């Protein structure tokens, strides 16, 4: 089996009209050990400008490609992801700090996103409508936007890229894609090679790794009609401001501070297992992580004990070790942020039940009790393996605590009563609610997204992708012109 990451072509290069040398590069390191792995090309503003012109020229022919031929390319890309699963896993473990299980999650879901998007190619794309004008036929069609800019983060670089790339391409758009500079291989080089080998025309997709300067160039490029951004709320606000000023469509999928509610009738051991997964999966570096564990006072002591036991049994270390559950934090800055939030929360009166210490680049799974509103671990998105536990006395208080945040991404509710769970779910201001489950869930055909500071209401998944990556166009047919006043 050939390798996707071919140093002769892909090192110190960007994919824009094929592989070409970049004027600058960034060293990719193994997050657990610091070992140098690869030199990835970084795109400049000039690279973005040239890519935008090329994408604009290539898009009409791609949109005119027969839908079954576009779908076939996406199906081939999905097959290639599975075929190269071993190499992709190698990069996910080393470049993102994820375990083999995390890599499997990305590989499976990225392939599923492609297959789901391929189905859009042959889906109905419009309506025939009545007319008030005699002899006229009205119809409205969804048509591609043209050139779409996609900017994605480092935590799930392949999956979160594919969530936007696959439907944007399926629906006839060309794409300027900027992966995060922390993960330019998993989030960029691998994807470029996969689409290249699947037969996607080279000028339809431009993969332009870089930092905020590169991202700003993508947002500002006049040829780009829409920006799909997944990342932090702070950066998303800047993206939204710029896109709005330039009258561009924008889709923002941002951060979260998600409530995991455990009611007094819950199966506590089961809830603790779910809460541990929701809080600690991929070191808690997940926007949908269980960020605040809201637990009824009558079961709080048992829940904290069970959750701490779950946290304590998780092995921390190099994710290439198959026995490891918790890998490294992505970089020093994020590790310092996690440590600061925990330390300042404890200084404010919370108690460390387990964890609470770092051994760079690792942070132990941490359970905090006696957390109250106003403390940093309650108010902020931690993005680390930390489970703050907050006690409540009534359903009304649980709802109030869950909604006491600017974010509105997802929530989980553990209860022995489905009707009780549904009643509470209806009062939560979130884009997603999972009853009898934790907060991290992802299915490619489901409209996925948040509200408030978690996003602008745009959605990924299934028919929602059609709404996001196309626009309506009205057509009329008039066989014989009649009734004009002059």
Contact criterion met (CB below 8 Å) for 76 and 199: yes
DSSP annotation of 325 reads S
Catalytic residue among 113, 121, 287, 381, which? 287
Contact criterion met (CB below 8 Å) for 239 and 219: yes
pLDDT, position 479: 83
Nearest Cα neighbor of 91 from 170, 7, 4, 163 is 4
282: left (phi over 0), alpha (psi -120 to 50) or beta: left
d(CA 223, CA 56): 7
Tens-binned pLDDT, residue by residue, of the chain (486 aa): 789 998 789 999 999 999 999 999 999 999 999 999 999 999 999 999 999 999 999 999 999 999 999 999 999 999 999 999 999 999 999 999 999 999 999 999 999 999 999 999 999 889 999 999 888 999 999 999 999 999 999 999 999 999 999 999 999 999 999 999 999 999 999 999 999 999 999 999 999 999 999 999 999 999 999 999 999 999 999 999 999 999 999 999 999 999 999 999 999 999 999 999 999 999 999 999 999 999 999 999 999 999 999 999 999 999 999 999 999 999 999 999 999 999 999 999 999 999 999 999 999 999 999 999 999 999 999 999 999 999 999 999 999 999 999 999 999 999 999 999 999 999 999 999 999 999 999 998 999 999 999 998 778 988 899 999 999 999 999 988 777 888
Based on the residue annotation, tell me whether 287 is a catalytic residue of this protein: yes
Based on the residue annotation, tell me whether 121 is a catalytic residue of this protein: no
pLDDT, position 482: 73
Per CATH, which fold does 258-435 belong to?
Aldehyde Dehydrogenase; Chain A, domain 2 (3.40.309)
pLDDT, position 471: 97
pLDDT, position 409: 97
Burial class (CB in 10 A: 0-12, 13-18, 19+), 79: middle
Question: Who's near 433: CB < 8 A, 6+ residues apart?
Answer: 410, 411, 412, 413, 425
Contact criterion met (CB below 8 Å) for 386 and 428: no
Show me where the domains of the chain are located.
Answer: 7-254+455-473, 258-435
pLDDT, position 458: 76
CATH value of 7-254+455-473 in 3.40.605.10, 3.40.50.1220, 1.20.1250.20, 3.40.50.300:
3.40.605.10
pLDDT, position 474: 97
Contact criterion met (CB below 8 Å) for 214 and 42: yes
Nearest Cα neighbor of 149 from 210, 215, 82 is 215
Secondary element (H or E) of residue 164: helix 157-170
CA distances from 149 to 52, 412, 458 (A): 9, 32, 15
pTM: 0.96
pLDDT, position 129: 94
Residue matched to tokens 């009898």: 436
Catalytic residue among 95, 113, 220, 253, which? 253
């Amino acid at each position: 089996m050939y390798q996707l990451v071919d140093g002769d072509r892909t090192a110190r290069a960007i994919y824009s009209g094929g592989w070409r040398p970049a004027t600058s590069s960034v060293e990719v390191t193994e997050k657990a050990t610091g070992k140098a792995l690869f030199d990835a090309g970084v795109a400049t503003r000039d690279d973005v400008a040239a890519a935008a012109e090329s994408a604009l020229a290539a898009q009409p022919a791609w949109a005119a490609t027969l839908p079954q031929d576009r779908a076939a390319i996406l199906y081939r890309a999905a097959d290639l992801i599975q075929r190269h699963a071993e190499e992709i896993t190698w990069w996910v473990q080393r470049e993102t700090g994820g375990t083999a299980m995390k890599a499997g999650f990305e590989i499976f879901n990225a392939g599923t996103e492609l297959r789901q998007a391929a189905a859009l190619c042959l889906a109905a794309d419009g309506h025939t409508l009545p007319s008030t004008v005699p002899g006229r036929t009205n119809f409205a069609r969804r048509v591609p936007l043209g050139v779409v800019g996609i900017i994605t983060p480092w935590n799930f670089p392949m999956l979160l890229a594919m969530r936007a790339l696959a439907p944007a391409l399926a629906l006839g758009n060309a794409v300027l894609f900027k992966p995060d500079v922390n993960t330019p291989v998993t989030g960029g080089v691998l994807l470029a090679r996969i689409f290249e080998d699947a037969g996607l025309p080279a000028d339809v997709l431009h993969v332009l790794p870089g930092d905020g300067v590169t991202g700003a160039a993508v947002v500002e490029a006049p040829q780009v009609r829409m920006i799909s951004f997944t990342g932090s709320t702070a950066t998303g606000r800047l993206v939204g401001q710029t896109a709005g000023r330039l009258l561009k469509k924008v889709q923002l999928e941002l951060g979260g501070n998600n409530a995991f509610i455990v009611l007094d009738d819950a199966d506590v051991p089961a809830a603790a297992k779910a809460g541990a997964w929701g809080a600690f999966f991929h070191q808690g570096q997940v926007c949908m992580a269980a960020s605040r564990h809201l637990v009824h006072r009558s079961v709080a002591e048992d829940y904290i004990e069970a959750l701490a036991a779950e946290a304590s049994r998780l092995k921390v270390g190099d994710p290439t070790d198959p026995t490891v559950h918790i890998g490294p934090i992505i970089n020093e800055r994020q590790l310092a942020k996690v440590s600061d939030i925990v330390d300042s929360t404890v200084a404010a009166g919370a108690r460390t039940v387990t964890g609470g210490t770092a051994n760079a680049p690792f942070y132990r799974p941490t359970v905090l009790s006696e957390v109250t509103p106003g403390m940093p671990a309650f108010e902020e998105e931690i993005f680390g393996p930390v489970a703050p536990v907050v006690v409540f006395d009534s359903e009304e208080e649980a709802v109030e605590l869950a909604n006491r945040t600017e974010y509105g991404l997802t929530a989980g509710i553990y209860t022995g009563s489905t009707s009780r769970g549904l009643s509470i779910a209806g009062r939560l201001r979130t884009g997603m609610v999972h009853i009898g489950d934790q907060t991290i869930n992802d299915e490619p055909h489901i409209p996925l997204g948040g509200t408030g500071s978690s996003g602008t209401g745009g959605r990924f998944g299934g028919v929602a992708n059609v709404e996001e990556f196309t626009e309506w166009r009205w057509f009329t047919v008039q066989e014989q012109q009649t009734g004009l006043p002059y």
